[in-house]
Amino acid sequence: MAGLFGKFFSILSGAPEHSVHESNDSSKRYMSSSDDPVDLSFVKRFTDGGGYFVYCGSKKEIINNLKGAASEFGESHFFLPETPLVSWFKESGLTIAKNNPLDANAMASTCHAAIAQTGGIMISDIQTSGLKFAQLPAIHLVFARVSQVVNSLSDGMAAINKFHRNQRPKAIITLKGKMDESVMQAKVDPNKGRQIYFFLVEDHLLPELK
């Protein structure tokens, strides 16, 4: 991708020190150390696999980064099946399709958890309105709260069990960057050819999210 936002994402994905951008008024959440916290471990693995990452500490940062992302990959129509995200996209001047993914070439959703050990993002039919992975647009923006970054897959499953006792997911998907080793080695993988953008936001910015 070209342009300032593209360079920003490229820096995140390729910097050998795994430096991560955040605004001046944000805490130094992602300082690298020999004993990385789970959020930094996730960022390293996710971006090493070709995923794009951005931290948003305020609503203004979310809006600005959405505008930048849409401009960079040239899509303004988004399939958006979840209500909590709608206001951000409207304020960004983007067009929303809520029912038919064929009306858009990009989409956005929340997730269940981001897994530090694998750099994978757990979503399910709960976030995709029951649609199969093959039916979803190839450009996918995923929003998560800081507290949703966990260490292991079992921690992610525990989060699902905690918040979805009455509505169990029927199909859980793991999103990864298209350059992730497991994706590249597999003959068939639904992540092949997909662009995954991960927006990590402070918990209070997504109060409805479980």
- Specify the pairing of strand 113-115 against strand 172-175: unpaired
CB 110 within 8 A of CB 84: yes
Instruction: Give just the sign of the alpha carbon dihedral 19, 108, 185, 7.
Output: negative
* Number of compact structural domains in the chain: 1
Q: pLDDT at position 150, please?
A: 94
Residue 160 near residue 172 (C-beta atoms within 8 A): yes
Q: In what order do the strands lie in the sheet with 195-201?
A: 52-56, 195-201, 139-145, 106-109, 77-79, 95-97
Please give the biggest Cα pair distance in the chain.
46
Within 8 A by CB and 6+ apart from 65, the residues are: 5, 54, 56, 199
- Give pLDDT, residue 209: 58
**CA distances in angstroms from 154 to 43, 113, 191, listed in the order given:** 19, 10, 21
Tell me the C-alpha distance between 176 and 167, whole Å.
25
In a domain, 28, yes or no: no
Q: Tokens standing for 4? A: 């300032």
Distance CA(189)–CA(181), nearest Å, equals 11
Query: Is 16 a member of any domain?
Result: no
Q: Answer whether residue 19 is part of any domain.
A: no
Would residue 29 count as lying in a domain?
no
Residue 9's pLDDT is 43
Name the one residue in this structure whose structure tokens are 């793991």.
Answer: 174
* Strand, coil or helix: 204: helix
Residue 58, domain CATH: 3.40.50.10420
Q: pLDDT at position 115, please?
A: 95
Residue 14: inside a domain, yes or no?
A: no
Per-residue pLDDT of the chain (210 residues), as tens digits, is 334 344 344 334 333 233 333 333 333 343 334 477 888 899 999 999 999 999 999 999 999 999 999 998 899 999 999 988 999 999 999 999 888 888 888 999 999 999 999 999 999 888 988 888 888 898 999 999 999 999 999 998 888 888 877 777 778 888 988 888 887 887 777 777 789 999 999 999 987 655
First vs last C-alpha separation in the chain:
33
80 belongs to a structural domain: yes
pLDDT on residue 207: 76
Is residue 100 included in any domain, yes or no? yes
Domain span at residue 148? 39-205
Q: Which pairing describes strands 120-124 and 95-97: parallel, antiparallel, or unpaired?
A: unpaired
Q: Are 46 and 178 in contact (CB under 8 A)?
A: no
Contact 39, 25 (CB under 8 A): no
* 91 domain residue, yes or no: yes
